[in-house]
Amino acid sequence: MQQNVLVIENNEANLDIVSKLVHKAGLTPVRASSLTAARVLFAQMVPESFLCAVVAYALPDATHGEAIDFTVNAYIPTIVTTENLETATRDKVLAKNVVDYIPKENAQIYDYLNRLIVRLERNKTIGVVVVSNNRRYRRHMSSLLNRHNFVVYDCLSAHAAMAVLAQHIHVRLVITDNALPDMSGTQFVSHLRKAFTKEQLAIMGIADDQGMLMSAHFIKSGANDFLRLPIYHEEFLCKVMQNIEYIENVDAIRRAANTDYLTGLPNRRHFFYTVTVAHQQLPETQALAIVDLDHFKQINDTYGHEAGDMVLKTVGNLLEKSFEHDVLSRFGGEEFCVYLPNHTHQQAKQKLETFRLALAVTPIAIGEAIIYASCSIGVSVIATQNIEVLLRAADQQLYLAKTRGRNQLCCDATAVLA
Ligand SMILES: Nc1nc2c(ncn2[C@@H]2O[C@H](COP(=O)(O)OP(=O)(O)OP(=O)(O)O)[C@@H](O)[C@H]2O)c(=O)[nH]1
């Protein structure tokens, strides 16, 4: 695991700030206040353990960017910080194949640096498709994206890009030129939008926009963003980062809205959505089970609410293991729901019984104490597309299981009850 970040900076205060950012990103700063110190530290460590380096442009023993050459030649993705804002210095630094160049202008740059460090790890799992039949532009963009650890797919045509998208679900961004051999970039964008929403796939149009109209044309066709050629290193990477972060933020909101915060299981809302989708083609057989913990109030009352939470998490984990391929949900409180499509009644009953028995013998550590929980299960196997009807029927069976003494399963299929 690449968890070290080499920080080379002679200003003690800056060294501390950058080290804190690295810690905040869950990584370990390896601090050096000069190029000499960095060489010594680097020689003692495994080169592959470095995710990146954050290097000050000027150091007392490396006044003209020599520390950058050292980290770049050691194949460590390098982020340069500098107080020198001159264009000549910028051009010199960017020519060295660095990840990015950050002028120490204001406090905001540390926020940017933080995002950049976090991204270098995350980007390793994110695919970006670059579509252009201009080899120079394609190579330039791919090289910048590679430095940021993205998985890059170079495509000459819209059709080649579509083939990549069909194969690789981890692609989150498409960057497309307008002049493509098989269709225009804007046609390609509107074609992509039939399959992917703006929240699923970000699209950036690029064009040599003399008339300044391409930007609006791309956006109206469904692109998230537009960039004018020629590409400027900083602008290109800022826009890429912004678009990827937009997709990730929407993902995180969607996940939070569909997930129970305590157990991490899908919540009631998501359960209804998933089962409704599954019901568009009614499976030949189906079973819906409500799993309800027994005397859960007593656990809370005796051991405290946190202990109750621990029991709920344990039940959630066991449910996930037991019903890996089924639809699961924490419905609320101590009630869980399992939908088992395409299971015979007997198979469904067996799986649920195995879970019930496993829970009853699962030790749950609460401080010094070990406790055990049990559950009652109500199952309905009615062949209906109406999920409310299924739920009501399962609830009636749950009531039966509770009144018959708890820690048991009741089902409305006599064959299952046998
Ligand atoms: N710790 C914890 N307790 C919860 C949570 N949600 C609901 N509860 C508690 O779950 C308990 C449910 O109690 P009851 O509905 O009486 O059910 P029970 O004690 O399991 O009794 P039976 O279902 O009849 O066996 C209540 O005390 C709720 O406060 C939660 O997220 N965490």
CA distance 69 to 78: 9
First to last CA, the chain: 54
**How does pLDDT run across 169-228, given as a tens digit for each residue?**
999 999 999 999 999 999 999 999 999 999 999 999 999 877 678 999 999 999 999 999
CA of 142 to the centre of ligand 1 (A): 55
Say if residue 266 is preceded by a cis peptide, omega within 30 of 0: no
Give mean pLDDT, residues 381-407.
94
Q: Which atom of ligand 1 is found nearest the CA of 312?
A: 32
Is the ipTM of this structure higher than 0.90?
A: yes
What would be the CATH architecture of the domain defined by 4-121? Answer: 3-Layer(aba) Sandwich (3.40)
Percent of the chain whose predicted confidence (pLDDT) is above 70: 98
Residue 296, pLDDT > 80, answer yes
**Ligand 1 and 332: CB distance under 6 A:** no
Find all residues with CB under 8 Å of 185, minimum gap 6, and list them: 131, 176, 177, 178, 179, 205, 206, 207, 218
CA distance 405 to 185: 67
Q: Which atom of ligand 1 is found nearest the CA of 311?
A: 1
CA of 305 to the centre of ligand 1 (A): 10
Residue 112, pLDDT > 90, answer no
Tell me: domain 126-256, CATH 3.40.640.10, correct? no
**How does pLDDT run across 264-278, given as a tens digit for each residue?**
999 999 999 888 877
Nearest-5° Cα angle at 338, 336 to 342: 175
- Indicate the top mutation candidate among 334, 356, 377 to test ligand 1's pocket, ranked by most ligand atoms within 8 A of CB: 334
Helix, strand, coil share (%) of the chain residues, nearest 5? 45, 25, 30
Answering whether pTM is above 0.80, one says: no
DSSP state of 363: -
Going from N- to C-terminal start, the domains of the chain cover 4-121, 126-256, 268-417
Residue 263: the pLDDT is: 96
Q: Which atom of ligand 1 is found nearest the CA of 301?
A: 27
Residue 418: the pLDDT is: 37
Do 4-121 and 126-256 agree at the fold level?
yes
Tell me: domain 268-417, CATH 3.30.70.270, correct? yes
H helix intervals, 170-280: 185-192, 214-220, 233-258, 268-278
**Ligand 1 and 260: CB distance under 6 A:** no
Percent of the chain whose predicted confidence (pLDDT) is above 90: 78
